[in-house]
Structure 1
Amino acid sequence: MKTCPDRAQALDLLRKYNKEHFHIQHALTVEAVMRWYAENLGYGDEADFWATVGLLHDVDFEQWPEEHCKKAPELLAEIGCGEDFIHAVCSHGYGLCSDVEPTEEMEKVLFAADELTGLIGAAALMRPSKSCQDMEVSSLKKKFKDKKFAAGCSRDVIKEGAERLGWPLEELMDKTLQAMRSSEETIAAELAKL
């Protein structure tokens, strides 16, 4: 069984180094998406580990964007994160800012879903509902093809992530959309309290 810090410790660490609403919302979103994936891919007993890695995957990004995934091990050590946890966090930046390759299925899911949550979130904001509840994969695919839309979300990383998992791109989009739908209200409620 993989060990990870408890959620309160992880959230405190996140908030110590992240003040911007956007970064905290992204962290909570990726946390929820990773928990959904763990439970739906048969890793329910590791759901806390998957979720906490998701929560802290960008812990160093707001303050040290030039050292993203390089500063993270030092920050994660503050709350006693183990090597497997640190490897998982750093692997999501593979080929961009890290040479730590995603090898475990959880790391491949994080690599694939991280950028995609950003694209889905941006697409949701363009909808009258401001939500992903009524978003279909077909409309997400249109946004994906429009390179000017949410240009900061790397389509290459999303495609590579789907390939690493051995899934068609549409399957990755559908699953990640389901995961985000299932947690949207909970995240909004938690953000309102922070």
Structure 2
Amino acid sequence: MSQRISREEARSLLHEWVESASLRRHCEAVATAMAAYAREGGHDEELWEVTGLLHDADYERYPDLETGHPRHIIAELERRDAPPEMVTAIAAHADALGVPATTPIDHTLRAVDELSGFLVACAMVRPGGIVGLTPKSVKKKLKQPSFAAAVNRDDVRGGADELSVDFDEHVAFVIAALEARADELGLTGT
């Protein structure tokens, strides 16, 4: 029988493993988008949120995708007897592991990961932050290769396909989720 990992336990683990404020913000943004999609689809909101919180928890310590991330957080979650669907979703979000995405939680984590990072980057350069950000302006920024260059554009665009939803609707949905927590996420602008 697996053990639930609470939001509080997940945040404690995240803060223990991650010093970078920007990586913590990314994990919180992904968790926010995951929780919103869980609510929308009638899934286990806390499980999905905690999966988002911890999906990149080992990236700062073990950034090498061939031998490190996400193997170490997966091992830690397995040691804690975390729910198998959480472990599988985190494994499936890392292409290098070759774990196929087969469930809604798997597909959603893959769909919101890079998009959340890109939306945070967009918010950070806007006077209004995330508030008022539109899919149209996000698509315009996506066409600028130098903007948030580390974000994989194919993954951002493929996320909507992964969820079988319209790209603009997907972007608007995640923007709305992040906007609801703009203060906590530091996305209120200047």
TM-score by length of 1: 0.87
Alignment of 1:68-87 (within 5 A): 68-87=69-88
Structure 1 counterpart of 2:118: 119
Letter in 2 for 1:60: D
Aligned equivalents of 2:25, 2:80: Cα separation in 1? 21
Aligned equivalents of 1:36, 1:84: Cα separation in 2? 18
Structure 1 counterpart of 2:21: 21
Structure 2 counterpart of 1:99: 98
Contact 2:7/2:49 (CA < 8 Å) preserved in 1? no
Contact 2:18/2:60 (CA < 8 Å) preserved in 1? yes
**Misfit runs of 4+, over 3 Å:** 186-189
Contact 1:132/1:177 (CA < 8 Å) preserved in 2? yes
2:62 equivalent to 1:64:
yes
Structure 1 residues 1-22: Cα deviation after superposition (integer angstroms, max 9, x where no partner) = x963012211121112111111
Q: Percent identity over the alignment?
A: 27
Alignment of 1:41-52 (within 5 A): 41-43=41-43, 46-52=44-50
The number of residue pairs the alignment matches comes to 183
Aligned equivalents of 1:142, 1:3: Cα separation in 2? 43
Structure 1 residues 106-135: Cα deviation after superposition (integer angstroms, max 9, x where no partner) = 211110111001111111111122x10121
Q: Structure 1 99/29 Cα, relative in aligned 2: closer, same or farther at 3 Å? A: same
Could you list the runs of 5+ residues in structure 1 that have no partner in the other structure?
A: 190-194
Letter in 2 for 1:179: A
Alignment of 1:97-176 (within 5 A): 97-129=96-128, 131-176=129-174
Contact 2:27/2:54 (CA < 8 Å) preserved in 1? yes
Could you list the runs of 5+ residues in structure 2 that have no partner in the other structure?
A: none
Q: CA deviation at 1:78?
A: 4.2
Contact 2:3/2:81 (CA < 8 Å) preserved in 1? no
Alignment of 1:175-186 (within 5 A): 175-186=173-184
Matched residue SS, 1:40: helix
Provide the alpha-carbon RMSD of the alignment: 1.8
Aligned equivalents of 2:106, 2:36: Cα separation in 1? 14
Q: Structure 1 85/133 Cα, relative in aligned 2: closer, same or farther at 3 Å? A: same
Q: Structure 1 157/134 Cα, relative in aligned 2: closer, same or farther at 3 Å? A: same
